[in-house]
Structure 1
């Protein structure tokens, strides 16, 4: 991602979504693309247009999922993730908002670093937190984060505001709190 690009990123704990559910969500997404692609657009364009729907379905599942890993409920681990996000603020990226949920993380940031691609920054964040979190959990040699993550380039101010709201309201929609400000693992620096 080039410097100056604003990204909405979601990454989750390893094993939070069973393979059968992943396959079902992907099949539903593929069906939607086939049903909703227009004659004047390619499948790639249709995929891009419907990407948000897939993400919302996926995110609703992980918000309500009561099985699988939920290590981010551990206060020390949640703090570790938050500190690691703040560590890169102003050097590699400008951190606008985040929410650390029990099994996943939402982040909104603007890339600042020219000499390191953002995927490398995310890889370092995930590696650093995985090693330390696994140590806290007395786990060795086991994956902590799912290898893939979801990212979406933010194109305009309206989308930016919608995503900030989405991130902050995530613990409310998941039934964890009634007001986003009551969730201890949310952050927003919105100018």
Structure 2
């Protein structure tokens, strides 16, 4: 297996991933904590069913099949994260959230174009578009997320006066197909704190950011 930090259209870890060139991606990453056994078993079963079904999918239908799996997997998982109150809630601490915000903006325009993000108590939603490197190759999502997570983990642990794993090793990512879907996903990111019952108006959530005039940017 090749180096996962380099760009590849398809790559795998625990979840199947797809990264087409010029793509915009909705990414969700969470803190490292143990999920309840019932949730682990349910998610594991969904992935096993997917792997079995994937063997019988035609190559021309594979991209759409992966997309549909991602969507169903994510909806189930994100609903759980929003409701789960037994995990660490470090991300709603101002000092911790600020580290993540500053790092996301630091790489904006360098490794990726940032469209939006929302920092929830135990997970983060990010919308971004990888940019080309000096070698005229697009930055890989794996490399982008490795950079974000490794730096913020170290800095946040310092603030929290702790050591050990901060982020879960796996991140969910979803390829945004068109402008209509991009609008829906940005709306989802903005309103996630409302859906989770944290605020009544999305503008009241301190830890969100939506790029101004994002509609004018090229897909």
Query: Is TM more than 0.5 here?
Result: yes
Query: Counterpart of 1:15 in 2: which secondary structure?
Result: coil
Q: Which runs of 5+ in 1 are unaligned?
A: none
What do residues 43-79 of structure 1 show as CA deviations (whole Å, max 9, x unaligned)? Answer: 9844542320110010000001000111101110011
What does residue 209 of structure 2 align with? Answer: 187
Indicate if the aligned counterparts of 2:70 and 2:174 stay in contact, CA closer than 8 A: no
TM-score, with length taken from structure 1: 0.88
Deviates more, 1:115-124 or 1:83-92: 115-124
1:148 equivalent to 2:166? Answer no
Q: Aligned equivalents of 1:158 and 1:168: distance in 2?
A: 16
Aligned partner of 2:44 among 26, 29, 40: 26
Contact 1:12 1:145 in 2 (8 A): yes
Question: Which residue does 1:95 correspond to in 2?
Answer: 114
- What residue number does 2:130 align with? 111
Which of 113, 118, 131 matches 2:154?
A: 131
Aligned length in residues: 187
Q: For residues 51 and 72 of structure 2, what CA distance do their matches in structure 1 show?
A: 10
- Normalization by structure 2: what TM-score? 0.77
Say whether 1:84 aligns with 2:103: yes
Cα deviation, residue 93, structure 1: 0.7
- SS of the residue aligned with 1:143? coil
Equivalent residue number for residue 56 of structure 1 = 75
Q: Compute the displacement of 1:28 (Å).
A: 4.6
Query: Aligned partners of 1:33, 1:111: CA distance in 2, in Å?
Result: 28
CA shift for structure 1 position 84: 0.6
The two structures, once aligned, show a CA RMSD in angstroms of 2.5
